[in-house]
């Protein structure tokens, strides 16, 4: 497309319009104070009652990162909620997020604990997926720990961005010993 614009194969008004479109910056941005007071507590909430619709209004969709601004300066980039990098064939259609949510809601109507536990187990199976973007989790952990929240743990691994200052994956060691 750039070659067509540069070669002058487009009429001048169209060429000028295309140049203007290329300069548009539509990166979602949010003030740090709003992020810290509204969204970070929501993301760190583990009771299962998060309504992410307000965040999606800010981000535009779950695949966009959001720049956090303080006094006109970029201070953080919040990673996207969904991982666009890795795709895989879903061989188990009955385990889709939509179906998981529907079944959880039905179980919740019978007994609230059943629905929450079903959703928690279903989502935790997905968290252990090897296709997780560990750099995004490291970025989240940096944000969470910086503002006093617990980091994200993935099964027996923790994204150790705070201690090492990068997105390396380190093991979590425990003083507990299994009986043989």
Cβ count within 10 A of residue 40: 21
Q: Give the pLDDT confidence of 6-43 residue by residue, as tens digits.
A: 556 778 888 888 887 777 777 899 999 999 999 998 88
Locate all alpha helices (DSSP H) within 45-154, ordered by sequence.
53-59, 97-110, 112-127, 134-146
What pLDDT sits at residue 9? 74
Quote the DSSP letter at residue 140. Answer: H
Give this prediction's pTM.
0.53
Average pLDDT, the chain: 75
- Torsion angle, CA of 44/48/54/56, rounded to 10 degrees? 90
Q: Which helix (H) or strand (E) segment is 163 a member of? A: helix 161-164
């Amino acid at each position: 497309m750039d070659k067509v614009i540069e070669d002058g194969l487009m009429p001048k008004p169209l060429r000028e319009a295309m140049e203007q479109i290329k300069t548009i910056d539509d990166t979602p941005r949010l003030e740090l104070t709003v992020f810290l007071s509204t969204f970070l507590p929501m993301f760190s909430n583990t009771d299962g009652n998060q309504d992410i619709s307000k965040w999606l209004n800010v981000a535009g969709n779950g695949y966009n990162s959001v720049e956090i601004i303080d006094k006109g300066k970029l201070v953080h980039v919040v990673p996207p909620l969904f991982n666009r990098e890795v795709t895989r064939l879903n061989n188990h259609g009955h385990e889709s997020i939509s179906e998981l949510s529907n079944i959880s809601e039905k179980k919740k109507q019978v007994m609230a604990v059943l629905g929450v536990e079903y959703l928690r187990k279903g989502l935790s199976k997905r968290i252990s997926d090897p296709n997780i973007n560990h750099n995004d989790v490291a970025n989240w952990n940096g944000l969470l720990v910086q503002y006093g929240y617990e980091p994200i743990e993935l099964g027996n691994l923790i994204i150790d961005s705070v201690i090492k200052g990068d997105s390396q994956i380190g093991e979590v060691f425990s003083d507990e010993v299994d009986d043989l």
